[in-house]
Amino acid sequence: MNVLAIARRELAAYFATPVGWIALCAFLIITGFFFASMIGFYNLQSAQMSFDPYGTGDMNVDEYLVAPFFANTGVILLFLCPALTMRLFAEDRRSRSLELLLTSPVSTLEIVLGKYLGAMAFCSVMLLATGHYTALLLWLGSPDVGVLVSSYVSVLLLCGSFVAVGMLTSAFTESQVVALVIGFGLLLMFWVLSWADASTSTGAGEWLAYASMLTHLEQLAKGLVHSRDLVYYLSFIAFFLFATHQRVDAYRWR
Amino acid sequence: MIEVEGLTKRYGADNAIEDVSFSVAKGEVVGFLGPNGAGKTTTMRILTGSLGATAGVARIGGRDVSTHAAAVKRTVGYLPEVPPLYVTMTVRDYVAFAGRLKGVTDPAAVDRALARVGLADVGHRIIDHLSKGYRQRVGLAQAIVHDPEVLILDEPASGLDPAQRVEIRALLKELAAGDATIILSTHVLAEVEALCDRVVIIARGRVVATDTLDDLSGGRRQVAIEVQQVGPAMEALRALPGVELVEHAGEGRLLLRCDADLRAEVATAAAPHGLLALGARRGLEDIYLSLTQGNA
């Protein structure tokens, strides 16, 4: 109950200030731009292919449109999520409103989960707002519904990981800007870890690649839901939520 | 109702509070006095569970605040020095939210809390648009929404203009008249004199006095007067039966210690020597200053 009350307040807070609306607008404009330019590119390619005697004819919508679209959405979220999560704890601490939560009969776990779910609810709203792109695709094309569903699941998991990291950095500082910068830095690091794969010797590189979000996103975006990718995202999220929990618990000892 | 034993909070090598002990009976209104940085807020934060103590025990309603945190928090209302407001919410939504966190789902309880602090008309307004006095009231509404048995208020009138101060004081008086147990920290001594049964004075992290106002100030047996002719007045007063001591405190002020309430006699004796003012009890201010500075 308390979790839902806190989550609802967090969600409402996004819409009570321009921040939420601006983030939503920016997200839709950028994804819209990507979607439109990809359609253009797809049309050009398929037109060229139809003249190509060696071409296989039809281009696969899933491979040429859906996958890159969701990959791009993931990159946009990488930039956007730290801005959405930076205030979760930092603002509450600076304005002292956190004291309301800390002196209410609410457990630390409820506070952390409530704030996390509130931020995730906002991200879900953003993702749902991309629904008209997929509706267009379904109407005019014939994408694989399974791929679309797994793409949404993967982007949501990715987003969940971003939010978990951002929330932890927000719990460490009273400054939203510091939370933003550190959160973004950490996310970027987890994003590009797989690049290290090529430059390290065996073993370490594999581990680094496993820790990278990119590696797992590629699989999911193809519509391949492997348990190892799900386990990766879920344990990633669980770890950062746990770390945030420990951090918030420590407020009582400072 | 509230028992505090040997409470200590250390930050590294510094002691924020050390060995603080006091107790508050049910229904009592206790003033928590002390200079800035004396440890008032630290003590209150430990009592309300937002801070852990290094050593010592604090019990509210017989339950340890560190081991029975949730149960204790349900019975305690807390208004921190800076009210913990979500300023983008409306007054009503905010108080309802605070109520839900404290287990109150009845919308009537929210209305009652708003009415009690005089916010019934501004429930729809966004907190950010309210004056400081009103925000303080919203903070109070948040503290009383779950009808707590214990109210802990950290400088509820700080930073308010005189009119707002009077309003908040009247409000506190109403709350004090109910059966809630109240701890009120402040450095406005007039507030303590107007509201509290008892004071706990804290300085440099230690309790330096805990007593009723009357006992602290010597009740009616201490009389302070102001006269124009100091010498003759002192002689006349010393001759008065029952007067144990007459001191000149400077600027025409005389302090007397009597063995009973002798205000009428003192007034008659001092009148021919240009009596300007007479007050029973040594001012709380004097006591406060002597206690808190003596420790420095």
- Which CATH number characterizes residue B227's domain? 3.30.70.100
Give pLDDT < 50 ranges for chain B.
295-296
User: Which tens digits make up the pLDDT trace of A151-179?
Assistant: 888 889 899 999 999 999 999 999 999 99
- B143 and B170 fall within a common domain: yes
ipTM surpassing 0.90, yes or no? no
Residues B190 and B202 both lie in one domain: yes
Read off the amino acid at residue B193.
E
Range of the domain at B254: 219-280
Check whether residue B59 and residue B160 sit in a common domain.
Answer: yes
Q: Which of residues 93-112 of A touch B (CB under 8 A)?
A: 95-107
Give yes or no: residues B136 and B237 share one domain: no
Q: Is residue B91 part of a domain?
A: yes
Would residue B287 count as lying in a domain?
Answer: no
pLDDT tens digit string along B215-224? 665 555 677 7
**Residue B224 and residue B96 in one domain:** no
pLDDT digits (tens, 9 = 90+) for A224-251: 777 888 888 899 999 999 999 999 988 8
Closest residue of chain B to A105, computed from CA coordinates = B70
Domain boundary among B196, B216, B236: B216
Phi (first) and psi of residue A9, to 5 degrees: -65, -40
Checking if the pLDDT of A52 tops 80, the result is no
My answer on whether B142 and B228 are in the same domain is no
The whole-number pLDDT of residue B215 equals 67
Let me know if residue B294 belongs to a domain: no
Q: Does the residue B285 lie in any domain? A: no
Contact A173, A82 (CB under 8 A): no
* A9 in reach of chain B (CB within 8 A): yes
B13 touches chain A (CB under 8 A): no
Do B92 and B167 fall within a single domain?
Answer: yes
> Among residues B201, B216, B231, which one ends one of the domains?
B216
Same domain for B205 and B119 = yes
State whether B206 and B254 are in the same domain.
no
CA distance B216 to B77: 28
- In the sheet where B55-60 sits, what is the strand order? B14-24, B2-11, B55-60, B63-64
pLDDT at B295: 45
- Domain range holding A177? 2-253
Say if residue A198's pLDDT is above 90: no
CATH number at residue B211: 3.40.50.300
Which residues between 68 and 127 in chain B have a beta carbon less than 8 angstroms from any beta carbon of chain A?
69-71, 73-74, 76, 78, 80, 82-89, 93, 97-98, 100-103
**Which residue in the set A5, A17, A103 is minimally distant from B73, CB to CB?**
A103
Q: Identify whether B22 is part of a domain.
A: yes
- List residues bridging with A209 in a β-sheet: none
- Same structural domain, B240 and B183: no
Name which of B84, B89, B102 is nearest A96 (Cβ-Cβ).
B84
Count of the separate structural domains present in chain A = 1
Confidence check: pLDDT of A218 > 80: no
pTM, entire model: 0.84
pLDDT band at A57, cuts 50/70/90? low
Number of domain units in chain B = 2
Same domain, B155 and B257: no
Q: Collect all residues with Cβ–Cβ distance below 8 Å to A110 and sequence separation of at least 6.
A: A2, A3, A6
